[in-house]
Structure 1
Amino acid sequence: MKEEKIFNKNYILLMIINTLLFTSFNMINPVLPKYVTGLGMSVTLAGVLSGCFSITALIFRPLSGIAADKMNQKRLYLAAGAIITAACCGYAVFSSFSGLFFVRVVHGIFFAVDTTVSLVLVTRYIPKGKMGQGIGFFGIGPIIAIAFAPGMGLKIGTTYGYINSFFIAAVMSAAATLVILFVANQEQRETPDAESEKIQESKALPQAAGRRFSLKQFIATEVIVFAFLAGLFSFANSIEYTFIALYSETKGIDDISIYFTVSAAFILLSRLFAGRIYDKKGLAVILYPAYLVGAVSMFILGNAGCMAMFLAAAALKALGQGAGQPSLQSQCMTSVSQDRVGVASSTYYLGPDIMQGIGPIVGGAVIDRAGYAAAYDLCGILMLAGIVFYAGYMRYKKGKAAVQA
């Protein structure tokens, strides 16, 4: 049953869990490249370690969607939280590339499960007609994490050692896992259609084998376009955050933590109005300006020479991404039936996972060959490409609807 108000008990608990887990995640992200380069590895290898997280999540994301639809979601959430905690400790234990790679892969697998299940769970407690606002407010947790977690992780790392940053990140994940215990334990309810389909498949298992393992069971093909569009934001975001500390040092800026704070503040600002606009006006009204300001921000960042330009880029990028990504997420979750929200959730994350995985690898290679400006300019070009792609998609949809009419 849907709740009548957005901020109900379970919704708030899920926000707390999400905040703690993303705090842990964002503490590790900026610390890992500095830790790895401090061990004598190249920037390219640092990018590989950062990127393999999302690539791993990508591989296991479709399975996590099926699991979220078929298994007890609370137990799945608990298991993922516990293993993420162990992975955070693993960063402090290993110092070789192979060891860190293994830990990063494990972290990626269960972060994929965690984020997929959290989105499925929270939609159960958002009132009908308020999905845009509900998902937008749910994203406030990661915003809070972005505001202080990267700076906190770097500060702890430079003052007390990077290993301590990893252990504190593990404490955050452990706290999130404990809070999961207080979320209502609801068994997955299947629609009559879903139940009858399973009965039919069990009666004719050999004949249905091909159908049981069809693409649509793993991926909600109807939302792939929105997943790709969300991935464009993540590509830019991954390069922006992975290399911002190293980039700022080349400009003579030693403490870049305020960049994350400004970014978080403007993402929060965008959440105050974007969800309501999406619920009333639809996706297009949000997406076009979101990509435009995102592109401008990346061009500013690539040519930044002082802190003021860094902060202007942070504000514009945050406004664009903060409005665009949750609107695309809401579009995915409202484009499928209730028994497929797990698959829709995992499909949505495929776009960000792919692009966030590719981003640091491509960014590291571009930086090694052409410098930081070229990497951020590339992000700006891709933002502009998003406008063209979405406009073409909308034209195609209208043409298809006209033909069918």
Structure 2
Amino acid sequence: MRLLPQDMRGHEAPGARRPVKTQKGGTLMTKRVGAAREPLWNKPFILVLAISVFTCTASQMVTPLISKFALSLGAPLTLAATISSFMSLAALFCRPVSGILSDRMNRKKIMIVSTAIVALSMACYAFSTNIAMLFGARVVHGIAFSFMGVSNMALGSDFVPESRMGEGLGYLGLGNILAYAIGPSLGLEISGTFGYPAVFTLAASLAFISVAAMFLIPDTPRPAPKETAEKKRFSVNNFFAKDITLYVAVLILFTCGNGLMNTYLAILGEERGIPNVGLYFTAYSLAVLLVRPVAGKINDRFGLSAIMIPAFVLGCGGMLLVAGAKSIGPIVLAGVLKALSQGAAQPAIQAYSIRYLGKENAGVATSTCYIGQDLGNSVAPIVGSFVVSGFSFGTLYAGYAVLLLAGGTGCYLLQRFIERKKAGR
């Protein structure tokens, strides 16, 4: 029996008891509707959140610079975009494995090892003198990053009460948001003043500090998973949660925008003479800091529909602003609109997926969501390079805006129809 989506449960009287089961058939539990909420802010959760800020800041300092760094090494635009996106492409192929390992092995140890490798790969960027060295470091970075991201989110979910999963994962995602506010602008400023190696060295140092802090996190007392026949034979469901495939498609569409902005915003700014384009990332991050906690509570109370439908409209509007931007104002406003759309929708889908599949499958739920994000981040810049070469940046961002609105809404509504049909409603 699957856990029903929140906006399919109907209205319940305060004090009533609600049955809850995981998808895989765990022990039946009940929780009292309207009762006092379970505490969220415990020390391990706060520590995981702080570590997320450091690791994400390190990555965001580097990400917007890779395409420009590759151009400085002599790469053409298409190759530079490919190298920039190859981190996500490498992570894509490792997500299924990282998900199942996070469900079966010690999540803390996986996070320590993977973050250490991320730090080493960023240090290697500083010594890259040709395209081959940069490409190799990028691939290693992507592989390790896939394990780091999945284990971080799955480990964090161990310290979040089930009744506050949407809110908890929303706060945990604030590590990405704070990093988005600080990292890109800091990286661009440092690279302009001290050069690329200084940025890569500082990013690697932040990642190594995070590794040291991880030893302070207690091991999670998780019960051993039941070895069902399905798990023993390593079925597709162990690697990819096909029940949320259409939600993955939605995440692909949202993160296509991330890939396009991370790869091309700095280049677009130079072409159009727009200064300080890094303020886009700052505006996005500051807006999400305000939006995400509220969005998490809305998701927990009213379900996905209250988040998703506005998200597609606002995301489309933001990219249309970028398509026609001639000054910094529309760029900053686009960051705010993207925060109101993807910043609210992405953690809502992640929280829903963990609820739907059960906390014992948090690893595969998280990795499946990240697969969508990796596809968007990796494919969009490569496809975008051909659009820019044949047309313009305006055509690229306007076309993406239409695709997000039409494709995202279609995928979401179809997924909800399928779930209601399975539930017999």
Give TM class, smaller chain. Answer: over 0.9
Q: Contact 2:73 / 2:131 at 8 angstroms: preserved in 1?
A: no
How many angstroms does 1:224 deviate by?
2.1
CA distance in 2, matches of 1:23, 1:156: 14
2:420 counterpart (381, 398, 404): 398
Q: How far 1:389 moved relative to its partner?
A: 2.0
Match of 1:305 among 323, 326, 340: 326
Paired letter, 2:111: Y
Where structure 1 has 5 or more consecutive residues not aligned to the other structure, the ranges are 202-207
2:399 aligns with one of 361, 378, 386: 378
Moved more, 387-396 or 232-241: 387-396
Contact 2:102–2:151, Cα closer than 8 Å, also in 1 = yes
Mapped contact 1:136–1:275 kept (Cα < 8 A): yes
Equivalent residues of 2:38, 2:163 under 8 A apart: no
Alignment of 1:267-346 (within 5 A): 267-346=288-367
Partner-residue secondary structure (3-state), 1:334: helix
Q: Which residue of 2 aligns with 1:205?
A: none
1:46-67 CA-partner distances (Å, limit 9, x unpaired): 1101111111101011000111
Q: How many residues align?
A: 388
Identity %: 32
Look up the equivalent residue of 2:304 and give its one-letter code: L
**Residue matched to 2:200:** 166
SS at match of 1:164: helix
Once the two structures are superposed, what CA deviation does each residue of 1:66-119 show, in whole Å capped at 9, x if it has no partner? 111111111111101111110001111122222111111110011000110111
Partner SS, residue 335 of structure 1: helix
Asked if structure 2 preserves the Cα contact closer than 8 Å seen for 1:227 and 1:351, the reply is: yes
Q: Distance in 2 between matches of 1:396 and 1:223?
A: 10
Q: Which has the higher helix share?
A: 1
Q: TM-score, normalised by structure 2?
A: 0.88
Alpha-carbon shift at residue 396 of structure 1 (Å)? 3.6
Distance in 2 between residues matched to 1:187 and 1:114, nearest whole Å? 20
1:6 correspondence with 2:28: no
Which residue identity lines up with residue 79 of structure 1 in the other structure?
Answer: V
Q: Which amino acid aligns with 2:81?
A: G
The match for 1:151 is 185
Whole-angstrom CA distance in 2 between matches of 1:335 and 1:73: 21
Residue deviations 1:236-259 (CA, integer Å, cap 9, x gap) = 111012211110122212322222
How far 1:400 sits from its partner (Å)?
Answer: 4.5
2:67 maps to which residue?
33
Per-residue CA distance 1:344-394 (angstroms, 9 max, x = gap):
111111111111110111122211221111111122022112012212332
Q: Determine helix, strand or coil for the equivalent of 1:290.
A: helix
TM-score, normalising length: structure 1: 0.92
1:48 to 57, 72, 82: 82
Shifted more, 353-362 versus 249-258: the winner is: 249-258
Shift of 1:399: 4.0
Q: Does 1:94 align with 2:116?
A: no
What pairs up with 1:184-223 in 2 under 5 angstroms? 184-186=218-220, 188-191=222-225, 194-195=226-227, 197=228, 212-223=233-244
Instruction: List alignment gaps of at least 5 residues for structure 2.
Output: 1-36
Shift of 1:283: 0.4
Amino acid at match of 2:199: S
Report the Cα distance in structure 1 between the residues aligned to 2:204 and 2:327, rounded to whole angstroms: 35
The reply to whether residue 59 of structure 1 matches residue 93 of structure 2 is: yes
Whole-Å separation in 2 of the counterparts to 1:62 and 1:7:
30
- Taking the aligned partners of 2:385 and 2:221, their CA distance within structure 1 comes to 44
Aligned CA RMSD, in angstroms, stands at 1.7
The one-letter code matched in structure 2 to 1:282 is G
Matched residue SS, 1:229: helix
